[in-house]
Structure 1
């Protein structure tokens, strides 16, 4: 008989604690999650910080916090953390025990494997009684974000300016001559335009002579990145790794030139996430502008918005001049050469870097 009453009392206690924890376990529970910093570079390790607060007298025997995050943010191994990863998303679960009136802070180390724009969406908290018979679930919306910049590639800096451009000082240039500063004459070369011909020097020497221009500081660089990984592609990018490398080449060129004091812009036939048109950043100078370019690059979506030849046609139609033009593309054909030649005739210089799986190896194009 005693055993019966003990068993009966145990059952009553079991159901009472289950009801109490089911009703109150998630009350006055506070939860915060944020990245250690808002921006990072691909390959860096940052921290994701969780804070969980129990502001009531009742302890929480167990709590599970679940959320999803991009698989491009890899978690380091850690106790009380379970991660199951798919191709695009990973689900991770953190486990806690909360005593009354306590706060727990947990830091997760994350490797940023790919540039991108990552947002914290929501977490699902589940808590229950001592024996796990009943549980309660609650979802909390989050608003944190992480912007991972592309890692600037080591482009051939020996071909970039060796020092800053200031005022009207004559400097070493990597792409272009200034058509407004004449320092002498030289013999005609293939690719020179007839407006460059110095007729007096030609008459004097008997050979076709053209103006020899000096290099000065009042030019701007425009970097164009082609999202097409081959000549026959449509909207979908097949070789994403190749285009990611192109973004890093563009970042490296922009960084080297802006740090040298020159104004730089960026344009590509890819959209920013959530938008539809091609991306264009006007040339400016300074560290703040470089950060703006990196942020735009981080938010690019790997989708082609329009044929690259159409983009270059529109740029040539705009009629701008006195710019250095760097085109990063996995191929070069007659259509692109035609638009590059139009840009040259407008008074710009055009250089093509062929996008390959290896570091920058090949350059094509003539300054003009």
Structure 2
């Protein structure tokens, strides 16, 4: 029996405000290093120019750390995989330029990776979850910048069947948190306080959107008007009802997501559902999805927390799968702020 050839992929992720690098040996993650940018907290959101500058400072030490943690020398690398888009253009340019330079210097293949595709295929990292999805399956990709339902027929045969028409679900969480006076990023705090509150305390309207598409801008506005009205009546309303407000907001958002997922399952007949993206770390979404296994007979796939937020390991697994197919890019490839599958 011939031993499996070892392929070492260095992966780089710089689509937003996290500079990340990972080394994979085939599907096994040897290292997964991330440098987060705290500077954005004081502005209540990511400032693109500051993000790109921080990437320039972080990328060399983060890549160096990833190689050292993996115990791999750069000369052993088989290829360089990097996020080419979508994302913040300035941030993407830093990772793209670095990946190109290193690929050229080492004389090894360059592999561009679609950020949202990586969130879906993160499930195929060795040990990323208790079980790997079987094709075909439905993917719900939810993050600060994206909300999509996709039909995954194969690793690289992915079709968007539903998406947000305006704001992403992560933005809905963060903006709601901002309305409540919570610090950035507010989504995890809404989740934290929601666990202590009554999800039915304050009913919020669910947007009526045709098909499998989403809309969260109206919900955000409804929450804003609700809080303005209540705080005018009682200046301590938020402080006195924070847990219940957060629980009600989270319940509404989870309800919106699950209604669309159930509709997608009914339309496609596919009962295997996987989630990916930063917002998939939300406990309410995870619990609602897991509950369908008992109530609806779905098979659900939920990755470990470290593979939900932006990370380079997910870029690496796509890089490895493309490497096996010899799907390489050349130095003419460019970063793309907006790009479809």
* Same fold flag (TM > 0.5): no
- Larger RCO: 1 or 2 (CA < 8 Å, sep 6+): 2
- Larger % of helix: which? 2
TM-score by length of 1: 0.25
TM-score by length of 2: 0.27
